[in-house]
Amino acid sequence: MILVTTAGKVGAEAVLLLRQQGVPVRVLVRHPDTVQGLKEAGAEIATGDLDAPASIDAAMAGVTAVLLVSPGVPAQEMNVIRSAARTSAGHVIKVTSNASADSPIARRRWQTEIEAGLTASGLAHTLLRANAYMQNVLALAPAIAKTSGFGSSAGQGRVGMIDARDVAAVAARIAAAPDAYAGSAYWLTGPGLISYADVAAVLSNLLGRPITYRGLSAEEDRDAMIRAGVPGPVAEMNAQAFSMIAGGDAAWVTQDVPSLLGRPARSFGQFAGDYAAAFS
């Protein structure tokens, strides 16, 4: 049995992929009524909360591997790691980022703290360091649909953007047979570098109308996200990340996805085509 700790963009897709292979999988959620599709796919649904260790322990029963994918809050993820250690859950596959103990972005420092705790636990584990998700562009979709344009403080910085579905595919591949991947870290990216100006060009071709990209200051970007409903602390971290993209922080590409999956990583063009309705 594999436990997936949340049903977000990576977790839910990993659950579906594992079920397609006939692998027993359980997903921990706070609200079971929101994951009916996963239940219909044959996943076992465990009701619980990452802030409630007892509920995590209950979800760990009979588990041989854990896919740890969540917003990266240290207290929550360490609850999962401690539970996995208590119940001898075996192998933890942690979805993380380009973490750094001295990063100006708090969530990257948090990821470093969690990774250190995972190492100290003695559990076999694998790290999946994902570059920026293509799915994050969907947050801009309402503005694109309404105004045929969007802004960002990423400037002309280029990113090795990755489709979250490819991260899920890698996670599912490793979770199904984790022993060969113990102690490894993989850097997951799309097939090439892309700027937000390139994003606008791809969407223009796809939608058949000009999509414009405009540069924003970090403050303008943060304030726009807050107006869109993003919590202030998250908006601040996002704006910091975009500003670092402008300086080249995310301009890295690897071949880890094709090496692990035996196929190319999805391009932004493929992603945009699959989600075209959101931008229309």
Token duo for residue 29: 């959620």
The per-residue DSSP string of 73-121 comes to -HHHHHHHHHHHHHTT--EEEEEE-S--TT-SSHHHHHHHHHHHHHHHH
At residue 128, does pLDDT exceed 90?
A: yes
Nearest Cα to Cα of residue 42 among 23, 68, 28: 23
Tell me the C-alpha distance between 152 and 220, whole Å.
9
pTM, two decimals, is: 0.94
* Count of Cβ atoms closer than 10 Å to residue 273 Cβ: 12
Q: Which residues contact 62 (CB under 8 A, 6 or more apart)?
A: 1
| pLDDT tens digits along 152-166 | 999 999 999 999 999
Tell me the C-alpha distance between 186 and 178, whole Å.
13
Helix-then-strand count for the chain, H and E = 13, 11
How many residues in total does the chain contain? 280
| pLDDT tens digits along 238-269 | 999 999 999 999 999 999 999 999 999 999 99
- Alpha-carbon Rg for the chain, nearest whole angstrom, is 19
Nearest Cα to Cα of residue 181 among 119, 124, 130: 124
Tell me the C-alpha distance between 228 and 235, whole Å.
10
CA contacts within 13 A on the Cβ side of 21: 17
Tell me the C-alpha distance between 156 and 39, whole Å.
43
Q: Which residues contact 122 (CB under 8 A, 6 or more apart)?
A: 85
Mean pLDDT (the chain, rounded) = 95
Tell me the C-alpha distance between 111 and 69, whole Å.
11
Tell me the C-alpha distance between 129 and 137, whole Å.
19
Token duo for residue 33: 């009524």
Q: What pLDDT does residue 280 have?
A: 86
Q: What pLDDT does residue 71 have?
A: 86
Q: Which residues contact 31 (CB under 8 A, 6 or more apart)?
A: none
Q: What is the mean pLDDT of residues 183-202?
A: 97
Tell me the C-alpha distance between 29 and 42, whole Å.
15
| pLDDT tens digits along 28-79 | 999 999 999 999 999 999 999 999 999 999 999 999 999 999 988 999 999 9
Domain 2-130, CATH: 3.40.50.720
Q: What pLDDT does residue 94 have?
A: 97
Nearest Cα to Cα of residue 190 among 149, 159, 156: 159
